[in-house]
């Protein structure tokens, strides 16, 4: 399987471990991710709030690049996935928006390229049964609260690969890796990422509530698919809170026995190694 790959700005900066683990896991599962040449920022999360043309034009530009490559586009970051999949949906379903996007990005939209999150690819193209077959170190004893955030599966008409209010794809993946996903009610509660710099006091309250709910549910860690959520859950937490937060691709790499895992986890602000050592999961 060969896909065009859009890392986005966060995965080349604060979320570099998400980028590295996504690429490594893709390779281990027989996928080839080809970075989109000339990609630019998708505009998240400010452009769509202040300039409608800029938001659509930035996303359409990257879709135009993917169209030139002739391959479906994989987008790991939930925020980038939101912007690109939303623009694609607009162009597919609204002739006026399609014409506007074509004018802004200087291309002719064909609709031949599809936009996917990496989680969606693992779920629907690889399949959890194949993931389980590839597991070398089952994540036995690891109880995780799967945190989807508010963007990954919403709105449902644009991102229909999972349920919008009670998604299950991350939970099913965690189980396929040998971990135990815990039931909880904060799966899609917003962490406040859009306010992280301007209203940190608000974000701190949101994050504290999410982490507390995960602990109350019996989780030893959280797992997410969004670099903005991951950063918030690590940076804006109470000072005495040490529950770690993993990208789902890092847990996949750990279960698949990939040698690079330790390097990814060392980049975290909240040290995950004490938990992994207690469970005999650290290499």
The answer to whether 143 touches 101, Cβ cutoff 8 Å, is no
Rg (CA), the chain: 18
Tell me what pLDDT residue 54 has.
93
Angle at 152 between CA 147 and CA 158, to 5 degrees: 155
User: What pTM value is reported for the model?
Assistant: 0.97
The answer to whether 154 touches 190, Cβ cutoff 8 Å, is no
The answer to whether 270 touches 242, Cβ cutoff 8 Å, is yes
Q: Compute the average pLDDT of residues 234-238.
A: 96
What pLDDT digit, counting tens, does each position of 17-70 carry? 999 999 999 999 999 999 999 999 998 867 777 899 999 999 999 999 999 999
Placement of tokens 């609260």 in the chain: 145
DSSP code per residue over 120-144: HHIIIII-HHHHHHH-SS--TT-EE
The answer to whether 67 touches 36, Cβ cutoff 8 Å, is no
Angle at 98 between CA 92 and CA 102, to 5 degrees: 130
Tell me what pLDDT residue 149 has.
96
Could you say which DSSP state residue 36 is in?
A: P
What pLDDT digit, counting tens, does each position of 186-234 carry? 999 999 988 888 899 999 999 999 999 999 999 999 999 999 999 999 9
What pLDDT digit, counting tens, does each position of 119-152 carry? 999 999 999 999 999 999 999 999 999 999 999 9
């Amino acid at each position: 399987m060969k896909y065009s790959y859009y890392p986005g700005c966060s995965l080349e900066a604060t979320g570099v471990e998400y980028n590295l683990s996504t690429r490594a896991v893709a390779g281990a599962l027989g996928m080839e991710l080809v970075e989109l040449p000339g990609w630019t920022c998708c505009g998240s999360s400010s452009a769509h709030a202040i300039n409608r043309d800029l938001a659509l034009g930035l996303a359409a530009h990257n879709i135009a690049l993917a169209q030139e490559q002739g391959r479906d586009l994989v987008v790991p970051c939930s925020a980038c996935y939101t912007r690109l999949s939303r623009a694609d949906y607009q162009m597919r379903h609204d002739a006026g928006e399609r014409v506007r996007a074509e004018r802004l990005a200087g291309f002719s939209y064909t609709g031949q390229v599809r936009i996917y999150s990496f989680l969606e690819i693992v779920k629907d193209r690889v399949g959890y049964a194949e993931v389980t077959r590839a597991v070398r170190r089952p994540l036995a004893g690891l109880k995780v609260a799967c945190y989807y955030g508010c963007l990954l599966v919403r709105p449902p008409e644009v991102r229909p690969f999972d349920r919008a209010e009670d998604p299950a794809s991350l939970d099913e993946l965690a189980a396929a890796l040998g971990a135990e996903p815990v039931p909880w009610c904060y799966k899609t509660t917003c962490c406040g990422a859009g306010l992280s710099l301007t209203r940190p006091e608000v974000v701190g309250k949101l994050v504290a509530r999410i982490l507390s709910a995960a602990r109350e549910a019996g989780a030893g860690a959280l797992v997410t698919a969004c670099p903005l959520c991951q950063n918030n859950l690590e940076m804006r937490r109470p000072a005495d809170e040490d529950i770690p937060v993993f990208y789902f691709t890092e847990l996949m790499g750990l279960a698949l026995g990939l040698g690079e895992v330790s390097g990814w986890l060392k980049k975290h602000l909240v040290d995950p190694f004490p938990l992994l050592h207690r469970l005999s999961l650290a290499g």
